[in-house]
């Protein structure tokens, strides 16, 4: 019996309570990702510390907590409860509108043609360098708000539109201020090797990062001024080659950052093989990964962060999600929100992963929860509804959770509540009363 204790939240009698997993699995792969843990007619309790205290059948929880009191009780009859979604790859700090490039791409220009002509990342760098930290913070907060309302409660956020030390630090400071002042969880990534800055060779840029950027980051990390979790490089033909990528990632690892980088997107680079060798936590994109790279990633437990919105918008070859899943790779998902791929919505990303990458809905949800949390090194606290984990939750106004994926773009009406650490952060006024279909 839980006694007369006070708790933060009781979610009562959900039609479906999707735990995702229930045995503290750090990730789900192969069949595990296809067999999610789910309870019917179930309830969940979040304590005053923001962590989950109990999950189980509604009548059992009712009995156990009959004398307890709650700051808030939500009747979830006819609704589904899921873990907050985890977005394992975003670039949300930038200035300068690139809608004109979307028109160029629709007219036939490729991503690299625009980049090499000085647009793309270079365009965003120019505008981001001119923006103040407060301006960057203001747009970042708006974007994080939109992610949250689309169901993401933990997001990875990259720098990478400064390339010079001052602007990279300005971006990381904006991320740090957002982390301290918003409800959404943030994993922060230094991505100073997102492009080779104009006027420098790739080798000069690599040396600058290793000799100047990383030592400064180490100092700021130690003083507690900025918390950076991951290091990223855009390993691509015409950007950073395999050798420069190796040098930067190793130097980042040496100062305690998790390796989490862009690889094998537009050309086969052997990024997957390199990531496996360096002990990378995750590699993103992987449209052009080799068969050997897939095997190496599975063996090294290096997560594949697939980005269906980008593959869709750039009309790239789809990454081989099925092959990765069959080989035992830990498959995660990210929105890749950036000025080139303007998508905030993990429900839409899951839908694209199912339709274009042939993932099942269970696999897509595992990829957008526990596996995305693993890709950020946070699956001990996030990504499933298990006792002891953070109480980050979604309530959707439907009696079957799959509607979150099935209704393409429908999340705006489906997501009823977004909850972080047991506190309702977003209550959707527009959530329509819906039947189960
Ligand atoms: N591919 C490299 N980086 C981003 C695009 C960044 C941009 O074009 O601004 C991506 O992941 O898609
Ligand atoms: Zn990216």
- Output the 3-class SS for 148-179: HHCCEEEEEEECCCCCCHHHHHHHHHHHHHHH
Same domain, 123 and 172: yes
| Range of the structural domain that residue 334 is part of | 85-375
Domain count for the chain: 2
Q: What pLDDT sits at residue 80? A: 98
**pLDDT for 84:** 98
pLDDT in tens, 93-110: 999 999 999 999 999 999
Report the CATH number at residue 361: 3.20.20.140
What CATH number has the domain bearing residue 23?
2.30.40.10
Region 174-193: what's the mean pLDDT?
A: 98
119-160: per-residue pLDDT in tens?
999 999 999 999 999 999 999 999 999 999 999 999 999 999
The answer to whether the CB of 61 is under 6 A from ligand 1 is no
Phi, psi for residue 9 in degrees, rounded to 5: -150, 140
Residues 68 and 187 in one domain: no
Task: Return the pLDDT at 436.
Answer: 47
Q: From the CA of 236, which ligand is nearest?
A: 1
- In the chain, what percentage of residues exceed pLDDT 90? 96
Question: Would you say the CB of residue 282 lies under 6 angstroms from ligand 1?
Answer: no
In a domain, 437, yes or no: no
- Residue 436 placed within a domain: no
Q: Is residue 432 part of a domain?
A: no
Give φ, ψ of 176 to 5 degrees: -60, -45
120 Cα nearest atom in ligand 1: 8
pLDDT at residue 188, rounded to an integer: 98
Confidence of residue 435 (pLDDT cuts 50, 70, 90): very low
Same domain membership, residue 105 and residue 210: yes
Residue 70 lies in a domain: yes
Model confidence at 262: pLDDT above 70: yes
Same domain? 296 vs 252:
yes
pLDDT digits (tens, 9 = 90+) for 67-83: 999 999 999 999 999 99
Would 279 be classed as within a structural domain? yes
Both 322 and 242 in one domain: the answer is yes
Residues 397 and 295 in one domain: no
Q: Indicate whether residue 98 lines ligand 1 (CB < 6 A).
A: no
Compute CA distances 63 → 14, 160, 249, 259, whole Å.
16, 52, 52, 46
Based on the fold, state whether residues 201 and 216 are members of the same structural domain: yes
Do both 192 and 94 map to the same domain?
Answer: yes
Give the Cα separation of 136 and 141 in Å (integer).
Answer: 9
Q: Is there a domain that residue 407 lies in?
A: yes
**Atom 11, ligand 1: which residue's CA is nearest?**
336
Q: Are residues 360 and 294 in the same domain?
A: yes
Residue 433 domain-assigned? no
Last residue within a domain, chosen from 375, 392, 412: 375
Same domain, 10 and 138: no
Residue pLDDT, tens place only, 34-70: 999 999 999 999 999 999 999 999 999 999 999 999 9
Q: Which atom of ligand 1 is nearest to the CA of 265?
A: 1
Instruction: Tell me if 435 is assigned to some domain.
Output: no
Instruction: Tell me what percent of the residues of the chain surpass a pLDDT of 70.
Output: 98
What six digits make up the tokens of 347? Answer: 């429900």
Tokens representing 14 are 């959900």
* Domain match, 268 and 360 both: yes
Together in a domain, 135 and 39: no
């Amino acid at each position: 019996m839980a006694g007369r204790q006070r708790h933060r939240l009781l979610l009562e009698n959900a039609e479906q309570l999707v735990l995702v997993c229930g045995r503290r699995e750090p990730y789900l792969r192969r069949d595990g990702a296809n067999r999610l843990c789910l309870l019917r007619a179930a309830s969940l309790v979040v304590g005053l510390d923001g962590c989950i205290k109990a999950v189980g059948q509604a009548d059992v929880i009712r009995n156990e907590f009959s004398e307890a009191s709650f700051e808030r009780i939500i009747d979830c009859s006819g609704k589904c409860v899921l873990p907050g979604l985890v977005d394992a790859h975003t670039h949300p700090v930038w200035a300068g509108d690139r809608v004109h490039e979307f028109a160029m791409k629709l007219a036939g220009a490729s991503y690299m043609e625009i980049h090499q002509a000085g647009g793309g990342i270079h365009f965003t760098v120019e505008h981001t360098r001119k923006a103040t930290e407060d301006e960057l913070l203001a747009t970042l907060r708006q974007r994080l708000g939109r992610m949250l309302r689309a169901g993401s409660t933990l997001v990875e956020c990259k720098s990478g539109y400064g390339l010079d030390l001052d602007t990279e630090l300005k971006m990381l400071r904006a991320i740090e201020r957002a982390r301290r002042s918003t409800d959404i969880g943030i994993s922060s990534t230094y991505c100073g090797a997102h492009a080779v800055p104009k006027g420098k060779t790739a080798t000069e840029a690599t040396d600058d990062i290793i000799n100047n950027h990383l030592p400064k980051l180490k100092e700021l990390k130690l003083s507690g001024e900025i918390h950076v979790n991951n290091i990223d490089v855009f390993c691509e033909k015409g950007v950073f080659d395999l050798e420069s990528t190796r040098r930067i990632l190793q130097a980042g690892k040496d100062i305690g950052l998790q390796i989490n980088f862009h690889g094998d997107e537009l050309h086969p680079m052997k990024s997957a093989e390199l990531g496996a060798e360096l002990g990378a936590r995750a590699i993103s994109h992987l449209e052009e990964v080799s068969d050997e790279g897939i095997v190496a990633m599975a063996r090294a437990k290096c997560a594949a962060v697939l980005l269906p919105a980008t593959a869709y918008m750039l009309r790239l070859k789809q990454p081989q999600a099925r092959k990765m899943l069959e080989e035992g790779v830990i498959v995660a998902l990210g929105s890749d929100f950036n000025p080139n791929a303007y998508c905030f919505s993990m429900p839409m990303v899951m839908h694209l992963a199912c339709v274009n990458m042939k993932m099942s809905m269970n696999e897509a949800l595992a990829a957008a929860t526990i596996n995305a949390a693993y890709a950020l090194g946070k699956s001990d606290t996030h990504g499933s509804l298990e006792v002891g984990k953070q109480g980050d939750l979604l309530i959707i106004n439907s009696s079957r959770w799959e509607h979150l994926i099935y209704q393409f773009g429908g999340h705006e009406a489906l997501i009823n509540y977004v909850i972080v650490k047991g506190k309702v952060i977003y209550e959707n006024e527009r959530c329509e009363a819906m039947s189960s279909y």
